[in-house]
Amino acid sequence: MLALSVAAACWGIVALLSAERGYTETLRADAADSTRLRIEAGSAGITLTPGDDAVVRVSATGSYLGTAPAVALSTAGGEVTVRAACGAECSLQLRVTVPAGLAATVESAGGEIAASGLGGPLDLSSRSGLIRVTGSAGPLVLRSESGSVTVTDSRSPSARITTGQGTVRAAFAAPPTSVEITTGDGGADLTVPGSAEYSIDARSSAGTTPPQVNLPIDRNAARTVTVRTGGGGILIH
């Protein structure tokens, strides 16, 4: 009986230590005097949406075993900074409300980055996570080492998109002034309005299929499109 009691007690301790715990945190900062939002996300996923005032709001949710996630929000030198840390046995999602027109820089080790309806410049970087941008209006700089990048319904005047292995799909609702797409192994699919003229330069260094360009090319056009892939296909239409 004693042995059974000790075993039951040990099992209870193990179950307690291994129990997954939930995490929630809500933070806010006045960004009226700031020009940029910077997010150092670690492994957390990021969702950016527009706000209707000058306040940055962060809603963090997740779960963990052992050490709890840590999320901090600070303001200094014209920047609002969000820093997140999450251990090996941890999942974390940050939902951030961004004031209209505020520039945003996001760095993620592996979580997905999603931005929707933002008007300011976006500089988004992920080591292995996906990047999804919808309805943007400011200049775009998007980088992913191994994840794919998707841009839809964009009115951004310029975009520079780079991936190591992931594919790129970008669709513009208004004619951009400049688009640069570079991939290592992934393909590139670019859609731009046919109402404008573009100087297009598309090349694949190891692809077996020549780039497919379904738009007229005007080498003297002010609007430029440059696409380079290491081995993926290229479609511009």
Say which amino acid occupies 151.
V
Beta bridge partners of 77: none
Per-residue pLDDT at 110: 84
Per-residue pLDDT at 206: 77
> Phi/psi at 169 (nearest 5 deg)?
-125, 120
Query: How many CB atoms within 10 Å of residue 23?
Result: 18
Per-residue pLDDT at 108: 93
**Residues in the chain, pLDDT under 50:** 2, 4, 6-9, 11, 13-16
The candidate with the shortest Cα–Cα distance to 26, out of 98, 94, 104, is: 94
The candidate with the shortest Cα–Cα distance to 120, out of 191, 49, 178, is: 49
* 3-state SS, one letter per residue, for 4-18: HHHHHHHHHHHHHHH
